[in-house]
Amino acid sequence: MVQSRTHTCGELRMEHVGQTVTLAGFMENVREVGQNLAFVVLRDFYGTTQVVIETAEMMATIKDLNKESTLQVTGVVRERDSKNPKLPTGDIEVVPSAITVLGRCRHNELPFQINRSREADETQRLKYRYLDLRNPEVKNNIILRCNVVSALRQAMTNQGFMEITTPILTASSPEGARDYLVPSRKHPGKFYALPQAPQQFKQLLMASGFDRYFQIAPCFRDEDARGDRSPGEFYQLDMEMAFANQEDVFAVLERVLPPIFAKYGTYNVASQAPFTRIPFLEAMDKYGSDKPDLRIDLTLTDATEVLAGCGFGPFEGNTVKAIVVTDFVGTRKQIDGLCAEVEVQSGEKAYWFRYDEKGEIVGGIAKFVQPIKEQVVEALGLTPGCFVGLTAGKLLTAQKTAGVLRSKLGNFCPNHMDRERYEFCWIVDFPMYEMGEESGELEFCHNPFSMPNGGLEILKKAAAGEVDPLTITAFQYDLVCNGVELSSGAVRNHDPEIMLEAFQLVRLGEDDVKSKFPAMYNAFTYGAPPHAGIAPGVDRMVMLLAGEDSIREIIPFPMNKNAQDLMMGAPSFVDPKQLDELRIVCVEQEEE
> Looking at residue 410, which CATH number applies to its domain?
3.30.1360.30
Indicate the range of 168-177, 189-198, 349-358, 520-529 predicted with least confidence: 168-177
Q: 412 and 335: one domain? A: yes
228 band by pLDDT with thresholds 50, 70 and 90: confident
pLDDT at 224: 83
Domain final residue pick, 506, 528, 550:
528
CATH number at residue 47: 2.40.50.140
Give me the mean pLDDT over the 52-79 stretch: 96
For residue 193, give the 3-state DSSP assignment.
strand
Q: 392 and 442: one domain? A: no
Mean pLDDT of the chain: 94
Contact 404, 342 (CB under 8 A): yes
Q: Is residue 347 part of a domain?
A: yes
Q: Is residue 456 part of a domain?
A: yes
Give me the mean pLDDT over the 198-226 stretch: 93
Q: 465 and 360: one domain? A: no
pTM metric for this prediction: 0.90
Q: 404 and 502: one domain? A: no
Range of the domain at 458: 431-473+495-528
How far apart (Å, rounded) are the C-alpha atoms in residues 390 and 321? 6
DSSP code, position 389: E
* Sign of the four-CA dihedral 557, 563, 566, 572: positive
Give me the mean pLDDT over the 404-433 stretch: 95
Q: H or E element: which one contains 221? A: strand 212-221
DSSP code, position 471: G
pLDDT at 589: 75
223 band by pLDDT with thresholds 50, 70 and 90: confident
Q: Is 236 exposed, middle or buried (0-12, 13-18, 19+ CB in 10 A)?
A: buried
Q: How confident is the model over 425-440, as pLDDT tens digits?
A: 999 999 999 988 788 8
Indicate the range of 223-237, 302-316, 489-503 predicted with least confidence: 223-237
Question: Is residue 478 over pLDDT 70?
Answer: yes
* Sign of the four-CA dihedral 510, 513, 516, 522: negative
Q: Is residue 506 part of a domain?
A: yes
Q: What percent of the chain has pLDDT over 90?
A: 88
Task: Count CA atoms within 13 Å of residue 234 on its CB side.
Answer: 30
DSSP code, position 588: P
pLDDT at 217: 97
pLDDT at 438: 80
Question: Is residue 99 over pLDDT 90?
Answer: yes
Indicate the range of 245-249, 436-440, 542-546, 557-561 predicted with least confidence: 436-440
pLDDT at 225: 76
525 band by pLDDT with thresholds 50, 70 and 90: very high
Give me the mean pLDDT over the 75-89 stretch: 95
Q: Is residue 544 part of a domain?
A: no
Q: Is residue 572 part of a domain?
A: no
Q: How many residues does the chain have?
A: 592
pLDDT at 436: 85
Domain count, the chain: 3
Q: What percent of the chain has pLDDT over 70?
A: 98
User: How, if at all, do strands 92-103 and 70-79 pair?
Assistant: antiparallel
Domain final residue pick, 103, 129, 152:
103
176 band by pLDDT with thresholds 50, 70 and 90: low
Q: 303 and 413: one domain? A: yes
Q: 395 and 451: one domain? A: no
Q: Is residue 122 part of a domain?
A: no
Per the rule left: phi > 0, alpha: psi between -120 and 50, beta: everything else, 42 is beta
Task: Count CA atoms within 13 Å of residue 573 on its CB side.
Answer: 5
Contact 191, 183 (CB under 8 A): yes
Q: Is 32 exposed, middle or buried (0-12, 13-18, 19+ CB in 10 A)?
A: middle
Q: Is residue 111 part of a domain?
A: no
Radius of gyration in angstroms for the set of CA atoms belonging to the chain, rounded to a whole number: 30
Contact 41, 29 (CB under 8 A): yes
pLDDT at 215: 98
Q: 408 and 443: one domain? A: no
Cα distances from 150 to residues 146, 157, 219, 264, in angstroms, run: 6, 11, 19, 12
Q: 303 and 392: one domain? A: yes
Give me the mean pLDDT over the 456-465 stretch: 94
Contact 531, 494 (CB under 8 A): yes
How far apart (Å, rounded) are the C-alpha atoms in residues 539 and 232? 13
Q: Is residue 343 part of a domain?
A: yes
Find residue 152's DSSP bridge partners.
none
Question: Is residue 1 over pLDDT 60?
Answer: no
Cα distances from 131 to residues 5, 120, 556, in angstroms, run: 22, 12, 12
Q: 458 and 499: one domain? A: yes
Q: H or E element: which one contains 533? A: strand 531-534
Q: 412 and 499: one domain? A: no
Q: 332 and 385: one domain? A: yes
Domain final residue pick, 486, 509, 528:
528
Q: How confident is the model over 111-148, as pLDDT tens digits?
A: 999 999 999 999 999 999 999 999 999 999 999 999 99
Question: Is residue 2 over pLDDT 60?
Answer: no
Q: 334 and 398: one domain? A: yes
